[in-house]
A and B are shown apart, each in its own frame.
Chain A
Amino acid sequence: MASETQLTREEFDDLAQRLGVTGEPAYLDELYAQVRGVFIGTATIREIDVSAVEPDMAFIPRIN
Chain B
Amino acid sequence: MNTLEICYMSAGNLSKLIQKKEVSPVEIIDAHLSRIDATEPFLNSFITLLADASRSAARQAEKDIQAGRYKGPLHGIPIGLKDLYNTGGVRTTSGSKIFDTFVPTEDCTVAAKFQQAGAILLGKLNMHPFAYGPTGENLDYGHMHNPWNPDMLTGGSSGGSGSATAAGQCTITTGSDTGGSIRIPAALCGIVGLKPTYGLVSRHGLTPLSWSLDHPGPMTRTVEDAAITMNVIAGYDSRDVASAKVDIPDYTSALTRNVKGLKIGVPKEYFEAPLDPQVKKAVEDAISLLESMGAEIKEVSFPMYNQSQAISSTILMAEATAYHRDLLQSDGQQIYEPVRQRLEAGLFISAADYLRAQQARTLLDQECRQLLNDVDLLAGPTEPVTAPEILSSRVMAGEQEIGVVGALTQYTRPYNINGFPAISVPCGFSDAGMPIGLQLAGRPFDELTVLRAAHAYEQATDWHTRRPPL
Contact = CB atoms under 8 A, between A and B. Distances in A.
Interface in A7-45: 15, 19-21, 27, 30-31, 34-35, 37-42, 44-45
Interface of B: 212, 307, 309-311, 313-314, 317, 329, 337, 341-342, 344-350, 352-353, 355-363, 365-366
A45 B360 contact: yes
A28 to B, nearest CB: 10
B362 A41 contact: no
A38 to B, nearest CB: 5
A19 B345 CA distance: 10
Nearest to A23: B344
B356 A27 contact: no
B310 A41 contact: yes
Task: State the 9 A-B residue pairs at the shortest beta-carbon distance, nearest first.
Answer: A55-B358, A50-B359, A41-B310, A44-B310, A56-B362, A42-B353, A53-B362, A34-B345, A1-B350
How big is chain A's contact interface, by range? 20 to 34
A31 B361 contact: no
Contacts of B355: 55
Given A1-B347, A1-B348, A42-B353, A34 B358 contact: no
B341 A27 contact: yes
A54 to B, nearest CB: 7
Given A31-B341, A45-B307, A38 B360 contact: no
Contacts, number: 87
Q: Chain A interface secondary structure, helix, strand, loop or mixed?
A: helix
Nearest to A41: B310
B359 A41 contact: no
Contact of A53 (B212, B307, B363): B363
Contacts of A53: 359, 362-363, 366
Contacts of B337: 27
A34 B341 contact: yes
A3 B361 contact: no
Nearest to B352: A3
Given A44-B307, A46-B356, A48-B307, A2 B348 contact: yes
A63 interface: no
Interface of A: 1-3, 15, 19-21, 27, 30-31, 34-35, 37-42, 44-46, 48, 50, 53-57
A41 B317 CA distance: 11
- Among B342, B348, B356, max chain A CB count under 10 A is at B348
Contact of A38 (B212, B349, B361, B366): B349
Contact of B345 (A20, A35, A50, A54): A35
B304 to A, nearest CB: 8
Contact of A21 (B314, B344, B350, B362): B344
B348 A57 contact: no
Nearest to A42: B353
B356 A15 contact: no
A57 B329 contact: no
10 contacts: A2-B350, A19-B348, A38-B314, A41-B309, A44-B310, A45-B353, A48-B356, A50-B356, A53-B362, A56-B361
A39 B313 CA distance: 11
Contacts of A30: 341
Contacts of A55: 355, 358-359, 361-362
Contacts of B353: 3, 42, 45-46
Contacts of B341: 27, 30-31, 34
Nearest to B211: A57
B334 to A, nearest CB: 14
A56 B213 CA distance: 12
B347 A21 contact: yes
Contact of B365 (A34, A41, A50, A56): A56
Given A20-B329, A34-B341, A57 B358 contact: yes
